[in-house]
A and B are shown apart, each in its own frame.
Chain A
Amino acid sequence: MLYREAGDFKTTYVDDSQTFPIKFDRVGFWVIMVVAWLVIPFVINDYWASSLMVPFLIYAIAAIGLNILTGYCGQVSLGTGGFMAVGAYACYKLMTSFPDVSILIHIVLAGGITAAVGAAFGLPSLRIKGFYLAVATLAAQFFLVWLFNKVSWFYNYSASGQINAPERLVAGVAVTGPNTPAWAQYLICLLFVTLCALVARNLTRGSTGRKWMAIRDMDIAAEIIGVNPLRAKLTAFAVSSFFVGVSGALFFAVYLGAVEVGEAFGIQKSFLVLFMIIIGGLGSIFGSFAGAAFLVIMPVALKWIGVDLLGWPTDLVAHFQLVIVGALIMFFLIKEPHGLAAIWRHIKEKLRLWPFPY
C-alpha cells in the first residue's frame, strides 16, 4: 500500500533513472539524511561518537569499498586491512608534510594513493581467480603491514613506530586531535560516508557497475560481449581501494588519533570487513551499512547488556560476545546466505503486495 510503484508516474528519462525509483524509498532516504545531518549532530556526545557512530560510519565506507570489489566484481580480497593502512599512513605523511593544506584534501588524496596501490596489487587478478586471488591479496596484507613497520620514513622516525594525528581544523573547528568536539568528528565521517555511498550507488547502477557484475557472473561471457576484463577488474580494484583508503585515513586521523600498524590494520581487520559484507549482503550498498552496523553495534550492545545491566564479570561477557557474535554469523549464513540486505529485499517485496498478497 505504502511501498509500491503504482501511481508514481515517471514522465521524463531523468525521473525514470533516478537513484530511488520508489517514492517510499526516496522519502525514507531524505528522512535518514535529515536525522543524520540535522538531528544527531545536536544530541551526540563523546561516548556515542567514538564508541558507535564514528566507527560505524568508517567501517561502512570500508565495507562499501570491499563490496564493490567482492560483491560487485567478484574478486575476493583479504587485503582490506593493508589497504586501510595505506590510507592511514598516506594521510599521516600528507598531514605532517603539508600542514597548511586542508585535511579534507589529504583524506581524498590518501584515498587516491590507496587506489594506485590497490590497482597495482590487483594486477594478479587478471591471471588468477577465487581462492588463489584471496591468497595473493593476503600477501598484500602482510607485505603492507611489514612495510609500515619496517621503513621508519613512514612513521617519521618516531621512537615507538606509532603515528599520531596532529590537530587539523576544518572551517575553524578541530576535526582531528584530542580537542575535536563529538559532533565535528561525527560530521566529517558522515560527509565522507554520504559522498562515498552516493558515488558507489551510482557507479554500480551505471555501465561501470554493469561491467563489474558481468565479470563477476561469468568473466568469459563478459569478455565475449565486449567487456574488457583488464579495465573492469583494475577499475574495481582502484575504486574499491579508494574507498578503503578513505576509511583507513578517517580511522587513523579522526577515530583513533594514534595508530600502530600491526595492531590496528592486521589481518583481523581484513576479516572483520569481509564479515561485514557477508553478513550485510554481497553486492548491496545497503548491505554494507547493515553489516557495519551489525558488527560495530552488536559487541557494544552485548557488553552493555552483560556488564552494565546484568553485572556479569567483564571477561565472561567478553567471551560470551565471541560466542554470540559467532553464533549469529552462522545463523545468518544458514538462514539467509545473502545477508541482511536480502532480508530487507524480502520485506520490500512483501510490502509491495501488502495488504493484498495475491
Chain B
Amino acid sequence: MAQDDSRRYYVILVFLGILLGLYTIRLFNLQVLSSSYKDKAVKNAIREVTIHPARGFIYDRNDSLLVYNDAAYDLMIIPKDIRAFDTAELCRVLDMEPQEVRAKLEKAAAYSKSVASLFKQQISKEDYGYLQEKMSEFPGFFVQNRTLRSYPQPIAAHILGYVSEVDERDVENDSYYAMGDYIGKSGIEKAYEPVLRGVKGKEKKLVDVHNRVVGDFAEGTENIQAIPGTSIWSTLDMQLQRLGEELMAGKRGSIVAIEPKTGEILCLVSSPNYDPNLLVGTARPKNYGKLIADPQKPLFNRALQAAYPPGSTFKLANGLIALQEQIITNSSIYSCSGGGYRIGSHVVHCHNCGGLNIYSAIQRSCNTFFCRAYYNILSNRVKYKNIDEAYTAWLEYMESMGFLKVFNTDLPYELQGRIPSAEYFDKKYNNSWNGNTVVSMGIGQGEAAVTPLQMANMLAVIANEGYYIRPHIVRAIGKRDSLNTQFNEKIYSKIEPRHFRTVLQGMKQVVTGGTGRGAQIPGIEVAGKTGTAQNPHGRDHSVFALIAPANDPQIVVFCLVENGGFGATVACPIASLMAEFYINRKIERTDLEKRMKELNIK
C-alpha cells in the first residue's frame, strides 16, 4: 500500500491515544479529584432514622401505673426523595384531602429538602399495616415508630401534664429537639422532661432506589442505640387522688393532701378536671380547644393557681403568731359579746361566745377573739415603732410558714398568692391606718388571698410542730427506692414548737366538740378547722383544714369547695373522708361518701 496510508496508521494511533488520554483525565477528575460524589452516594443510600426512645413511665407512690406508652406510627417525608406518585391512592390510604397533601408537601419542602418532616402523625395500626405494603409506591415517604402517652385512670390530669409536638421555640432553645419531636408541656411531663424523654438513638439504614430499607449500614456498627426514658414514682396516691376527684365531682374547688413529714403531695385535686387521655394524639388540638372554651375552666389548676380568701382556717396562723409574739398565752381570755368585734359603727359579727381562751376560740372559731388578737399584734408599740413595722413583722411570720412565695419545686405554675405589703396600706390609707383597718385579715377575710397548696403546707407546719418540707410531686426517679432528695430540706417557721401543740389541741376540740364535728373518723383522732371564705361574687366558699391522726400526723388535708357555704357542711366531710381512706384504706361511712360524691354545686 501507499506510503500515505501507513502514515495514517500513526494518525489513527495518535488520535486514539489522545482520546484515551482525555477519557483517563475525565475519569481521574470524576473519581479522584471531585469529592462531592462520595457524599452524594452516601446520601443516596443511607437514611438516618431517628429512634425515639419510649418515654419513662409514671407510677404512683404504691407502684400503680399512672402513665404508660402506646405504639403509634408517624409518616415522614424527605422532599428531595419524592418522585411522582399516585396522590389519589395516598389520599385514600391516609384519609386525607388532595389539597391537604399538597399543602403538607409544600410545607415540608419549605422546611428542608433533605431533612425528614412529619407528614402525618399517629397513623393507626391498621392503616400502618396497609401503608407498609404500599411504601415502595411512595418514594420519599417512610414510617417512624413513635409512642403516645396513655393513662389507665382518667385522673390527675393537671399534675401529670401532657406531651405534645415541639414548637419552634423549643427547637431553638435545646438542640436535642428536632421538629416533629415530642416534649412535656406541663406538669410532671414538663418538670421531668430530661429524665422522662430518654436519649434519642440513630440508625443508619441502607435504602435502595425504591426507598426500601434493605439493611443496616456498616452492619449496624454506626448505629446509636436509643436509651429509654427513666421511669418516675410520683408522690401521689392514685386511689386517694381518684377518690378526691370523685368527691369533688359536680363541684368547683380543690383538695390538697400532703404527708407532713416528707412534704410529699398525696393528692392534688382541682375540680372540674378532665380525662388526660383527651390530650393525647391527633385528637389533642380539637379537645384542647374544647377544654379552653369550657366556661368551667377545667384546664385551670385551682390547687396551685387560684388564690382564695382562706377564711377561718387562717385563724390558726394568726393564733400561732399571737402566741409567739406573747400577745396572748394559752390561758389568756378574751371576751366575746355584743354581737361581735366593734370598730366604731362597723361590727365583725360573732355569736356572743363569752370569755374564751385560745383553745375554745379555735374550737368555736370566734371572730372576736382573733380580731382582738390580730389588732393587738399590730398595735404592739413596745416591740414595734409603728404599724408598718408591726405589720411587716406579721408578714414575715406568714412567709416563714410558706405563704407569699412559690415553693418552686416540681409543680407546674404555682401562684404566689397575695397578702398586701405595709406600703400598699400606707398608700391606700394615706399613711393613716392601724390594726383595725386591716382586722378582717385576722379572720382570713379581706385582702389576704392564698392558694390551697399554701394552706395545706401551713397545716404541715402545724403537724410538724414548726417546719415544713417544700411540697413536691415526685418521690423517686429510676428506681422505686431511690428517693428524690432534692427537696428534703426542712424549712423552719419563726414559731416555737410548743405553740403548735396549743393550736393542735384547739383543732382537736374543733372536731370533738366544735364547728367540725363532721370530721370525726371512727378510731382516729382528728384535728381540724372549718372555714367559710367570704365570696363577694356569690355564695361563700366552704373550707376545711384537717390533720390526722392528731397525735402522729400522717396526712394533712386542705379542702375548698367554691360556693359550698359553711365549712362544716361540704368541705369538712370531704376532707374527713379523704383522711379516713388514706389511713384506713377503706371508708366505713359509705352513705356520707355517696352523698358527697353526688352533691352538685353550681
Please indicate whether A and B come from the same complex rather than being unrelated chains: no
Q: Please report B residues at the A interface, Cβ cutoff 8 Å.
A: none
Q: Please report A residues at the B interface, Cβ cutoff 8 Å.
A: none
